[in-house]
Amino acid sequence: MKISDGLLQGDPRALGRGISLVESRHPSAQELLRKVFPHTGKAAVVGVTGTPGSGKSTLVDALVERILETYSSLGIIAVDPSSPFTGGAILGDRIRMMRHSTDPRVFMRSMATRGHLGGLAKATAEAVVLMEAAGREFVLVETIGVGQDEVDVVRLAESVLLVMTPGTGDDVQIFKAGIMEIADIFVLNKADTPDCDALERRLAALLDTAAQDVPRPPVVKTVATSGLGIDGLWSVLLERIQSRTPDEKRQCQKRRIRWLLRDILRDRIFEKLQRLIPEAEFEAMVDRVCRGEIDPYSLADDVLRETGDA
């Protein structure tokens, strides 16, 4: 059976293989995506981000039960720009730890396409497409860290949870990463630690300076390890998902398609560049610049002129 058929019938093995094709940029990935694309756009897509150690994994694990009370199936994509030093080890441990790892209603995969400029966001968007095509009603995209990569990744979600913890200095990093702007719900996890009030005040002050004309995003306190606040968080999230107007949904879908289309076009043009300039020729150009024969800006002009693209 073809992967696309199996995938559209919801077969988890076909889904897993499809995601592997996307992740490895296999030539057949595009044909698969083309085929299943008409069957997408219906799932609730939620992003979860925050610094490592903020308790995202425990939080997601706690949310799974609540999600499955409302939705019949769930896909989790853990975005993990792994270092070769650790491989996927940290995530592997994570999967084994999950209470729901053997539940057929839960499908979990990691995405680890490192080193491709912008490639991680595109691969994740395409994994969401495959999850939707395979009939997953709820798709959760979780990042390991918080940075510009992660901002790009969770942007594709219709709702983004930003998980922060008191007393870690995380917040400086989060504020710097520009991720606050895309958070729809702020989760203060480990809310039973002493510095939580201070973090809440700092966050409130920042939100005051920023959000002038948009409604201020809710701030929910949780203790994921004990389950405290998880019901509250889920009801805020579900309310947010269910209260969306058709127009809001359309705008969100449009935004995702805009990014995906831009990424696809960009990829194609990169490929074209690589076809136009073989590696050996590129190295010869680098050598010319190194020898001081030409500056790289004039060289780029020459290259584009020669290929008729200036």
* Shortest separation between residue 6's beta carbon and its own copies, angstroms: 19
Do 171 and 200 meet the contact criterion of CB atoms below 8 Å apart?
A: no
Which of residues 173 and 225 has its CB atom nearest to its own copies in the complex? 173
* Shortest separation between residue 102's beta carbon and its own copies, angstroms: 26
- What whole-number distance in Å separates Cα of residue 54 and Cα of residue 52? 6
* Shortest separation between residue 288's beta carbon and its own copies, angstroms: 10
* Shortest separation between residue 98's beta carbon and its own copies, angstroms: 18
- In sequence order, the 6+-apart residues with CB closer than 8 A to the CB of 109 are 16, 19, 75, 76, 77, 78, 127
- What whole-number distance in Å separates Cα of residue 192 and Cα of residue 242? 30
Which of residues 89 and 99 has its CB atom nearest to its own copies in the complex? 89
- What whole-number distance in Å separates Cα of residue 98 and Cα of residue 194? 28
Do 19 and 130 meet the contact criterion of CB atoms below 8 Å apart?
A: yes
Do 79 and 150 meet the contact criterion of CB atoms below 8 Å apart?
A: yes
* Shortest separation between residue 20's beta carbon and its own copies, angstroms: 18
* Shortest separation between residue 52's beta carbon and its own copies, angstroms: 5
- What whole-number distance in Å separates Cα of residue 246 and Cα of residue 251? 9
* Shortest separation between residue 67's beta carbon and its own copies, angstroms: 26
Do 48 and 62 meet the contact criterion of CB atoms below 8 Å apart?
A: no
Which of residues 13 and 114 has its CB atom nearest to its own copies in the complex? 114
Which of residues 239 and 309 has its CB atom nearest to its own copies in the complex? 309
Which of residues 106 and 163 has its CB atom nearest to its own copies in the complex? 163
Which of residues 106 and 157 has its CB atom nearest to its own copies in the complex? 157
Number of helices (H) and strands (E) in the chain: give both, helices first. Answer: 13, 7
**Per-residue buried b or exposed e for 214-230, using 16+ beta carbons within 10 Å of the residue's own CB:** eeebebbbbbbeeeebb
- What whole-number distance in Å separates Cα of residue 79 and Cα of residue 145? 9
* Shortest separation between residue 9's beta carbon and its own copies, angstroms: 19
Residue 65, classed as helix, strand or coil, is helix
238: burial class by Cβ within 10 Å (0-12, 13-18, 19+)?
middle
Which of residues 238 and 257 has its CB atom nearest to its own copies in the complex? 257
Which of residues 68 and 252 has its CB atom nearest to its own copies in the complex? 252
C-alpha of 45 from chain center:
10
Which of residues 1 and 290 has its CB atom nearest to its own copies in the complex? 290
* Shortest separation between residue 268's beta carbon and its own copies, angstroms: 6
